[in-house]
Amino acid sequence: MLKDLTRVGKHSIIYGLGGVVQKLVGFLMVPVYTRYLSPTDYGVAALIMFTVTLAGMLWNNALNRTISRFYFDYKRQKERNAVISTSLVIQTIFSVIVSAGVIMFSSKISYLLFDTSRYALFINLAFIAFLLQSIIEIPMTLLRLVEKSVFYSVISVVRLFVALFLNILLIVFLDMGLLGIFVSGVVTSGLVFFLLVPKTIFETGIKFSMKKARHMMKFALPLVPGGLLIFVLMRADVFLLQKLSTTAQVGLYNLGIQLGTVLIYLIEQPFFLIWYPFVYSSLKKPKINKVFSRMQTYFFFILIFFSLCLAVLIKPVLSFLVGPDFFEVYKVVPLIVLAFFFRPLSDFFKTGLQIKKKTKMIPLILGVGVIINLALNFILIPGMGYMGAAVAKLSAFAVIALVAYFISIKIYKITPEKRVIFALIVAIVYYFVSLLISVESIVLQITLDVLFLMTFPLVLYLLRVFRKDEIKKTKEILKKIKNVRSSKIK
């Protein structure tokens, strides 16, 4: 158990650090875009990149999960290599077809998006980059499967630094404007392509297995509409807010989403980058379900604590970070945080369906959530504005988690331990108690809130949420750390 926890924890931390650096680099691009591009150009770039991202999300995510699932079905490296090479062929064919189709009709697509064909060149360049990036996803997935998290993170970070350098060079010094963004994308993707793809082909060879392709497509195709439904769950409320409320409400809600989902990038995504490879590579171990459940439990303990910290601290932090027009956003953040607690919970439940290759059930589960989300948005937004949208999102993800649980336990039970729900209830109580702590000084308010939050693990300990073996092991680790520090001082 400890060995598995160390393995997953180590890679999650590495992926998490890489993700933080990527976010910081992405933040550094904002001054370049906002100073040297007009708002119109910035909007054009955002819409084109959004279209590319949607196209990639629908298929690339599905194929990535498929590769993870089938790679560990085989013990022989030759067969595993065949899974990778077959995936590479499938991905190349798909990407070429999509990119060629878009390039062929780029003028019409430009006219459809912007009422003019003048942006056709930018769309062409964006989908050339999409072609390269989609193929790159296969080597990047392989790095995760063989647990080369450091190399994976280094490649991801270097790619963003190269993009930042090229953006500054092309936009600032060569004055290429909007064109510079898309040229930078093609060049950056091309460099990574020539670094990773030949290396992968050399290691795995080129072998296309029709049998493997057929089984993999059967697994992957149901995940495509699932990706579309996830997109609806994530973004439909923004469009409905625009139609049923005001643009100001959209702006406030978007800020709330950005703040409330920060833990996705810091905790959830890094964990899931190693979670699926770990699960599929460990299926044949004895009593592995208990290991899965315990690992999920620890993940949620961490997520619950940091979610509570975010929900409690967001009000005093926002008081000096944003202007008065945006301060009220603090009200919606706890709802968003809770909604995105249920999302990974449902993902854990759905893991069992993927283990048993029952992916046809996943769009049905998500479909229930989408219906509830849309219905509640129409009902709640006219009277509650963005708070209604947040309640709708929370309700949808909670129902998805519940439906996924009842379906998955009949197929392959892989769930966190029940004490996670108890810890969540304690956290919710803690949040409402924190509302009673109110002082005028922002610094004092943050200090009191932090001290209050530090008592949360102690309260869980007193309520016997932690097991005796966990407490014993924690004491042993702390003792070892203390001894190491003492030896260094001597």
pLDDT tens, position by position, 189-215: 999 999 999 999 999 988 899 999 999
- Band (pLDDT 50/70/90 cuts) for residue 265 is confident
In this prediction, what percent of the chain has a pLDDT beyond 90?
45
Band of residue 30 on the pLDDT scale cut at 50, 70, 90 = low
pLDDT of residue 25: 66
- Please give the full DSSP string across 167-224, using - where no structure is assigned: HIIIIIIS--THHHHHHHHHHHHHHHHHHHHHHHHHHH-----HHHHHHHHHHHTTHH
Query: pLDDT tens across 278-336, in order?
Result: 888 888 888 788 888 888 888 899 999 999 999 999 889 888 777 787 788 889 999 99
pLDDT number for residue 482 = 66
List own/partner pairs for 180-187 with CB under 8 A and 24 or more apart. 181/33, 181/45, 182/45, 182/48, 182/122, 182/125, 182/126, 182/129, 183/125, 185/125, 185/126, 185/129, 186/125, 186/128, 186/129, 186/132
Residue 23 has a pLDDT of 67
The more confident residue out of 263 and 81 is 81
The whole-angstrom separation of Cα 309 and Cα 175 is 44
Residue 63 has pLDDT above 90, yes or no: no
At 1 the pLDDT is: 63
In eight-state DSSP terms, residue 467 is -
Please give the DSSP secondary-structure letter assigned to residue 267: I
Is 408's pLDDT higher than 90? no
* Residue 385, SS3 per DSSP: coil
**Residue 38 confidence class, pLDDT cut points 50, 70, 90:** confident
Give the mean model confidence (pLDDT) for residues 464-476.
83
Asked if pLDDT for residue 235 goes beyond 90, the answer is no
Mean pLDDT, the chain, as a whole number? 87
pLDDT value at position 103? 93
